[in-house]
Amino acid sequence: MNAAKADRIPEDEASLQLNDHGELRHLLTLEGLDMPLLVDLLDDAEGFLTPEDNLPARSDALAGRTVANLFFEPSTRTRASFDLAAKRLGADVLNLDVNTSSRKKGESILDTIYTLEAMRCDIMVVRDASVGVPAYIARHVKDHVSILNAGESDVSHPTQGLLDLLTIRRHKGSFADLTVAIVGDIRHSRVARSAAFGLQTLGVGALRLISPAAMAPDADDMPFANIIDNLDDGLADADVIMALRIQRERIPNLDGIPGPDEYFASYGVSRNRMRLAKPDAIVMHPGPMNRGVEIEGALADSAQSVITEQVANGVAVRMAVLERVAKSLERR
Ligand code: CP
């Protein structure tokens, strides 16, 4: 990473998100969204959750709308859940295969967007490795188009943040008395950052960011969090533990990064180490996991783990976001 994160994020990113009526038009970041809106989104998502042995929730809220998934970085969970969420709301869905798209022939991202806009795509879901791409697109699209950030470099993954908040709320209720510990490669993680800003907005009691020095965040990026380098100290009496993978694709020089065994010994979250946390603590991971590196496989499969619930909640959260931005487009 070069410049501090805050210096690389477009200044207008947060303010682009609401339309003139104060409604969510684009979802680019959780920063700048207030508590009532976050709570409304979580409540809406709850409404889309059904028991595992029931059929998934469906509606026709997006009937006639077209959602385009544009993933310029790999994804399993986010892409599949946006696809399913849009289909379960009755939308037409276009999953652009970027590897066989005309981007490979030198077409600019804006020309790709304008092409899809002309085909009447209403909502474009964008994942990109570069900071500022979702906001850049949002600044250039027509009034009838909404942009949803599905993962932006190392700075923002707002729907992941929302699904993490929903998962915590469903297990723990209020955020005010909670100690949340996020463990691992905080510095290169968009997941940690979105979760942190969402937790801050919802009034979390304490937020600990635990990592080796090479993976610690900029001191002034999330000033409301406690930065800790010792895992045992960070886990002590925590209510929620979120393990993160090492984001190798975003680390320019891997020379100082420990190997899997060394990393697990110091920063791997295991059943043994979970004894330091509260007895009813939950364990989260955004996926994809590297078992035996940042998390013990047996812990990921244990009763304390809510990792598959996070995945299920992700579809519901994306339905809630799609429904809400579609409503904002309806006014025009
Ligand atoms: N958590 C997450 O963003 O996973 P994917 O990369 O599989 O979408």
pLDDT tens track for 101-126: 898 899 999 999 999 999 999 999 99
Range of the domain at 18: 3-156+312-330
Same domain, 261 and 151: no
How many CA atoms within 13 Å lie on the side-chain side of 8? 16
The helix/strand/coil state of 134 is helix
Angstrom distance (rounded) from CA 75 to CA 249: 13
Distance 100 CA to ligand 1 centre (A): 21
What percent of the chain has pLDDT above 90? 87
**pTM score:** 0.96
Closest atom, ligand 1, to C-alpha of 81: 8
- With cut-offs at 50, 70 and 90, classify the pLDDT of residue 331: low
Same domain, 113 and 196: no
Same domain, 105 and 186: no
Angstrom distance (rounded) from CA 288 to CA 280: 24
Angstrom distance (rounded) from CA 143 to CA 108: 21
Query: Looking at this protein, which amino acid is placed at residue 92?
Result: D
Instruction: Residue 237: count other Cβ atoms within 10 Å of its Cβ.
Output: 11
Q: Would you state the pLDDT for residue 318?
A: 98
Same domain, 163 and 44: no
Which residue from 69, 76, 83, 250 has its CB within 8 A of the most atoms of ligand 1, so it is best to mutate? 76
| Segment 297-325, tens digit of pLDDT | 999 999 999 999 999 999 999 999 999 99
Same domain, 275 and 214: yes
Number of domains the chain is built from: 2
Closest atom, ligand 1, to C-alpha of 76: 7
Distance 76 CA to ligand 1 centre (A): 6
Nearest by Cα to 182 from 264, 33, 286, 279: 286
Q: Check whether 9 has a pLDDT greater than 80.
A: yes
Same domain, 20 and 139: yes
Distance 20 CA to ligand 1 centre (A): 32
Angstrom distance (rounded) from CA 221 to CA 218: 5
The helix/strand/coil state of 15 is helix
Q: Would you state the pLDDT for residue 2?
A: 47
- Where does ligand 1 bind, in terms of residues with CB under 6 Å? 75-79, 151, 160, 286-288
Distance 289 CA to ligand 1 centre (A): 10
Same domain, 135 and 30: yes
Closest atom, ligand 1, to C-alpha of 74: 6
Same domain, 239 and 323: no
Q: Would you state the pLDDT for residue 8?
A: 85
Distance 250 CA to ligand 1 centre (A): 15
Same domain, 122 and 203: no
The answer to whether 247 and 233 are in contact (CB under 8 A) is no
- With cut-offs at 50, 70 and 90, classify the pLDDT of residue 1: very low
Closest atom, ligand 1, to C-alpha of 287: 1
Which residue from 70, 72, 75 has its CB within 8 A of the most atoms of ligand 1, so it is best to mutate? 75
Q: What is the CATH number of the domain that holds 196?
A: 3.40.50.1370
Which residue from 77, 95, 311 has its CB within 8 A of the most atoms of ligand 1, so it is best to mutate? 77
The helix/strand/coil state of 212 is coil
Same domain, 188 and 125: no
Please state the rounded mean pLDDT for residues 60-85. 97
Residue 310's Cα: distance from chain center in Å?
Answer: 11
Same domain, 318 and 302: no
Q: Let me know the angle formed at the C-alpha of 277 by 272 and 283, rounded to the nearest 5 degrees.
A: 80
Distance 186 CA to ligand 1 centre (A): 16
Distance 5 CA to ligand 1 centre (A): 21
Q: Check whether 83 has a pLDDT greater than 60.
A: yes
Ligand 1, atom 5, residue with closest C-alpha: 75
Distance 168 CA to ligand 1 centre (A): 18
Same domain, 105 and 225: no
What percent of the chain has pLDDT above 70? 98
Q: Check whether 51 has a pLDDT greater than 90.
A: yes
Nearest by Cα to 72 from 93, 101, 94, 92: 101
